[in-house]
Amino acid sequence: MISTAGLSARANDGFPHLKQTSNTFLENAHEAMQDPEKTQVRDLMALFTPIMRDAAMDSFGHFDELRQHVKQVKQHSLEHLDHYLNRFEQEALQNGNHVHFAADADALNSTVLEICQQHSARLVAKGKSMVTEETGLNDYLKRAGLRVTETDLGEYIIQQAGETPSHIVGPALHKSAGEIRELFLAKHDLGDRELAETADLVGEARSVLREHFLKAEVGIIGANALIAENGYSMLVTNEGNGDLCANLPNVLIICTTIDRVLPRSEDATAMLRLLVRSATGQAQTCYTSFYSGPRREQDIDGPLETHIVLLDNRRTDILASDYKEMLQCIRCGACLNHCPIYASVGGHAYGWVYPGPMGSILTPLLTSLEQSSALPNACTSCGRCAEVCPADIPLPDLLRDLRHDETRRKLSPSRWRLGMRMHAWLARHPRIYHTLTGLGIRTLYLAGRRSGSFQRMPLASGWTSQRNFPAPEGKTFSSQYASLQRNEKARAVKAARASAATTPATGRKKTARRKPGQRIEPELRQDWPRRPDPRKPGNNARGSTVDDSSPDRQSAAHPAGPRGKKPRRRPEHD
Amino acid sequence: MTDTPRSSIYAKAREAGQEAEPDAIAEALQALGKSPTADLPAADLATAFMVNVLKNQGSVDCAADRSSAVQSVAEYLYRNFRSHRMVAGNDANLAALPWREAGVLPRFGSVEPGEPVALSYATLGIAETGAIVTLTGKANPAANNLLSEHHIVLLDTSRLVRDMESAWERIRQSTEKNGRPRGINFIAGPSSTGDIEGKLVYGAHGPRHWHVILMGDVPETALEEARELAGS
C-alpha cells in the first residue's frame, strides 16, 4: 500500500509539455469569476446538464442496479487486470494489430511519432482523446514537424484558439458562439461570410475538416473500452469524427490506457448504458463503434495497418494505492456538471487536463500532490458528485483523504495547518472545548442580539464580505441537549417512582426492537454504545433498513447521509 | 525478466491485483450476473424500436414486403431530391430487391463526392436503443455510413432484437461462421454535435438525415403509435 507520497517521487517527469497551474487554483478561480458572460454560460450548463442526466436515468428504469453491476464488473476487471490485459493483447495481436506498451507520457508520444515517421506521414487526423491531452501528444508531434488536426468540433475549436479543454466531454463549452465566429473568420481563409447561426459554424467546420480527413495519412483515436475476449476497442461519439479517423487514413493508432479493459462485449455496452446517460442524457450516442484491426482481405476500405498503444502513466501505482477506486472512472463528466465549484470557476481554473471532482483527484495522482495540493480543497463536501457518479466512486472521501495526505505532508499553508492543529487539540479536550465554545457563542449572542446578524467580524471577512453572519441563539447545541436530557431523566425518575408505588414490579425490563422510522425513546437512547469502535464497519451498506435495537451511532447521525458506507480503509499512514 | 515497459506493467498489475486461476476468474465473472437493460417504451418490439429511432432524431417508415420497401425508398428520394438515384453497399440482400418496379436507379459501391444518398442493409436493429448495426466489409463501405448527407437503412423485422445483449449473441453467431469483421458499427441517429454552447446541430461530419425503413410484418398501427409515443 502506498499513499500519494509514493506517487510524488516522480513529480514533473513525463509532463514537460504542460505548464501546470493547479497550485494557483484560488487565483485562477478568482480570475475566472470576473467575467459575467462566462459565469452566465456556466450557470446555464450547471442548470441543464443535471436535468438531462436525471431524465435519462429515470427513463432507463433500474439505474442503480445497472450502476452496481457495472461497478462490480469494473472492480473485477481491475482486480484481474493482468489476466484481462493479457487476453486483450493476445486477441488484438491475432486480429492483426501491433500492440505497444507505454510506461509514461513520453513513451506514448515517442511510440506514436515513430509510427508516423515509419510511414513518412505529415498529416494526422485526430479524434477526441483525453489520454493524448494527458500526454500532450499534439505538441510533441507538432515539434517533430507533423500537422495534427483535431476533428471533434470542440477539440478543433480549442486547438484553433490555442487553448486546453475546459470539460472532458464538451471541451469548448466555455466559448460563446460569438467567440467561435471570430475565431473561424480569423483562421479560415474563406472570404466574406455571415456565420450568424450555430449551424453555419458547424457547417464551415464540417467542410474544412472533410478536407483533412481525406488527406490525412494517419488517424489517431482513443478508446472508451477494450474488450478482452475478442480484442475489439469501443469508440463512442456523436459526430462520427472518430469513425472517419478510424476508417479513412491508411494507418490507425488507438491511444488508450490499460484500465479501460473489460472482459466481454456485453460489459462494454453495459458500461455504455451508464456512460451516455451520465454524459449527455442520451440513451445511445449516434456512433458506437467496435474496431478489431486492419482491413480484411475482402474489404474495400479501412486502414492497412493498426496500432494500439496501451499507456500506464501511474495507473498501476494508483491500482496499488488506496485511491484505486478512481480507476473505475468512465470519464462521463457527470461530476463536473454537478459540482458547485466547477460550475462557479470552470475547467481551466484547475490548471491541468482533468477538471472538476474527478480532476481534483486524478491530477494529484497523475502529477503530484506538491504540484496540485490546492485541488483537493476545491470541494464543499456537498456529496453531489458521489451521488451522480455512474461508477459509484466515493469522490468526496477520496478528496478528503488527499487533504489528509496534504496536511500530513505539510503541503497546505502553515496558517491552515496551525488552525487544524488547534482544532484537533481542542477536539481532544472536550471540557475545554465546551467551555470555550460556550463562551464564544455567548459573546456572539450578546454582541449580535440587537440586529440578529453581523455585517463585519474579525477573522471572518471571507464570509461577511459577501453576506451577513447570523448571530447565534445564546447556548451551544451540546448545552441545550444536556439540559434537555437532564429534564427528561428527572421526569422519567419521577414517573418510575410513581408507577412503582401503584403496580408490582415485573421481572425483566422490556427490550423493544425499533422499527425503521420509529421515534427513539429516551430510555433506549441510553443503550447506545458510548464510544463506537471506529474500525467497526457501519452496521450496513446503503439501502438496508435499520431494525436493530441498538442502532449504530453512525447511521443514526446520518440517517439519509449521501453514502451510508463503511469507513474507508486507511492503512497507508504509518 | 527483462525490464521492458510491457513486462513491468504486467508485473505491477499482477502485484496490485488478486492472483487467481483463469477458471476461478471466469467463475467470479459469471457470478456477477447480467446487466439490467433499459425499459422499452412499448411492449411490441417493432413499435419500441421505432419510438427510439424517432427519439434519436431519425425518421422511420414501415414496408410490409420487398416491393413496398423499394417503393418507400423511391418516395424518400423523390420527396427530398426529385431524383431516383442513390448509392447502395454491395450487399446481396440489396441487390436482390426489385428496384426497377419503383424506377430507382441504385449504384452499388462507395459514395463519391457529390452523391448525397446512401442505402445500407442492417445486420441488426436494437429496440432498446433504436440503433441499427452494420458490419464493415464490401457490403458496407465506411463512406456510405459516414460521408453521405442522407443515410437510409433497410432493416428486416427478423433482424430486430430486444437489447444489446441479444445483439451480441447474434453477432457472435455470425463471427464464429465468418470471422471477426474489422468493425462493428452501432448507428443511432444522424451525426450530431452539441459542442457550440450545448446547442444540438445535425450533420456535424456525417449524415444530416437518418432514415430507417422497417421491412416485414409490423402491426398496422405501430408506426402511428410510435410517433405518438415519441411525441413527434
Q: Using one digit for the tens of pLDDT, what is the confidence trace for A312-346?
A: 999 999 999 999 999 999 999 999 999 999 999 99
Residue A380 has what pLDDT?
94
Q: Given pLDDT bands bounded at 50, 70 and 90, which one contains residue A444?
A: confident
Residue A540 clears pLDDT 80, i.e. is over it: no
Residue type, A183: L
Give me the sheet containing B59-63, strands edge to edge: B59-63, B209-215, B150-156, B117-121, B85-88, B105-108
pLDDT mean across residues, chain A = 85
Architecture of the CATH domain B41-230: 3-Layer(aba) Sandwich (3.40)
What gap in Å lies between CA A5 and CA B150, rounded to an integer? 56
List, as ranges, residues 38-97 from B with C-beta within 8 Å of A: 38-39, 52, 55-56
Q: Which of B14, B120, B163, B205 to probe by mutation at the A interface, max A CB count within 10 Å?
A: B205
CA nearest to A304 within chain B: B182
- pLDDT at residue A560 tops 70: no
Q: Which one is predicted more confidently, A523 or A403?
A: A403
Buried b (16+ CB within 10 A) or exposed e, A158-191: bbbbeebbbbbbbbbbbbebebbbebbbeeeeee
Asked if A277 has any chain B CB less than 8 Å from its own CB, the reply is no
Task: Confirm or reject contact between B205 and chain A (CB < 8 A).
Answer: yes
Is residue B120 predicted with pLDDT exceeding 70? yes
Give the tens place of pLDDT for each residue, B67-104: 999 999 999 999 999 999 999 999 999 999 999 999 99
**Closest Cβ–Cβ partner in A73, A101, A265 for B5:** A101
Q: Determine the Cα–Cα distance for residues B12 and B27; give it in Å rounded to an integer.
A: 24
Nearest to A76 among B12, B32, B186 (CB): B32
Residues facing residue B140 across a β-bridge: B137
Whether A81 and B142 lie within 8 Å, measured CB to CB: no
For residue A550, how far is the Cα from the chain centroid? 36
| Mean pLDDT along residues B163-186 | 96
Confidence of residue A18 (pLDDT cuts 50, 70, 90): low
pLDDT digits (tens, 9 = 90+) for A46-105: 999 999 999 999 989 899 999 999 999 999 999 999 999 999 999 999 999 999 999 999
Question: Can you tell me the distance from the alpha carbon of A317 to that of A312, in angstroms, rounded to the nearest whole number?
Answer: 9
Cell for B61?
417508415
Q: Write down the pLDDT at residue A74.
A: 98
Q: How many CA atoms lie within 13 A of A548 on its CB side?
A: 15
Q: Which residues of B touch A107 (CB under 8 A)?
A: 5
Nearest Cα of chain A lies from the Cα of B52 at a distance, in angstroms, of 9
- Are A289 and B186 an interchain contact pair (Cβ–Cβ within 8 Å)? yes
Domain extent listing, chain B = 41-230
Q: Which of A107, A180, A302 sits opposite B196 (nearest CB)?
A: A180
Q: Sort residue A302 into left (φ over 0), alpha (ψ -120 to 50) or beta.
A: left
DSSP type of residue B221:
T
Which residue does chain A place closest to B24, by CA atoms? Answer: A80
How far away is chain B from the Cα of A419, in angstroms, using its nearest Cα? Answer: 37
What is the band of A558 on the pLDDT scale with cuts at 50, 70, 90?
very low
* Smallest Cα distance from B148 to chain A, Å: 12
Given an 8 Å threshold on Cβ–Cβ distance, is B35 in contact with A240?
A: no
Contact state of A244 with B165 under an 8 Å Cβ cutoff: no
Contact A81 B197 (CB under 8 A): no
Work out the percent of chain A whose per-residue pLDDT is above 90: 68
Q: Which of B32, B53, B182, B212 to mutate to test the interface with A (most CBs of A within 10 A)?
A: B182
Residue B231 contacts A, CB cutoff 8 Å: no
Is ipTM over 0.90? yes
CA A99 – CA A251 distance, rounded (Å): 14
3-state secondary structure of B156: strand
Mean pLDDT (whole number) for A548-552: 37
Q: Which of A275, A286, A318 to mutate to test the interface with B (most CBs of B within 10 A)?
A: A286
pLDDT of residue B30: 97
Say which DSSP state B159 is in.
G
**Please, which pLDDT band fits residue A451 given cuts at 50, 70 and 90?**
confident
Question: Does residue A563 carry a pLDDT above 90?
Answer: no
DSSP assigned state of A509:
P
Assign A233 a pLDDT band (cuts: 50, 70, 90). very high
Nearest to A177 among B189, B190, B196 (CB): B196
Q: Assess whether pLDDT exceeds 50 at residue B135.
A: yes
Residue with cell 488536426: A149
Q: Does B21 touch chain A (CB under 8 A)?
A: no
Q: How far is B196 from chain A (nearest CA, A)?
A: 6
Q: Any residues with CB less than 8 A from the CB of A155 and at least 6 apart, and which?
A: A126, A128, A165, A171, A172
Query: What percentage of chain A has pLDDT greater than the value 70?
Result: 84
Predicted local distance difference test score (pLDDT) of residue B27: 97
Cβ separation A319–B137 shorter than 8 A: no
Q: How many residues does the structure list for chain B?
A: 232
Which grid cell is A532? 463506537
Distance (Å, rounded) from C-alpha A73 to C-alpha A84?
A: 12
Question: Looking at domain A64-319, does it have CATH number 3.30.1550.10?
Answer: no
Measure the CA–CA gap between A64 and A278, rounded to whole angstroms: 12
Domain ranges within chain A, ordered by starting residue: 64-319, 429-470
Triad B24, A272, A252: Cα angle to 5°: 95
Which grid coordinates are listed for B84? 431516383
Mean pLDDT computed over A275-291 = 95
pLDDT at residue A503, rounded to an integer: 62
Q: Could you say which residues from 324 to 363 on chain A have a Cβ atom under 8 Å away from some Cβ of chain B?
A: 324
Give percent of chain B above pLDDT 70.
99
A 220-239 residues with CB < 8 A to B: 230, 232, 238-239
Q: Cβ(B201)–Cβ(A202) under 8 Å?
A: yes
Mean pLDDT of chain B: 95
- Residue that is written with C-alpha cell 486502414 in the block: A303
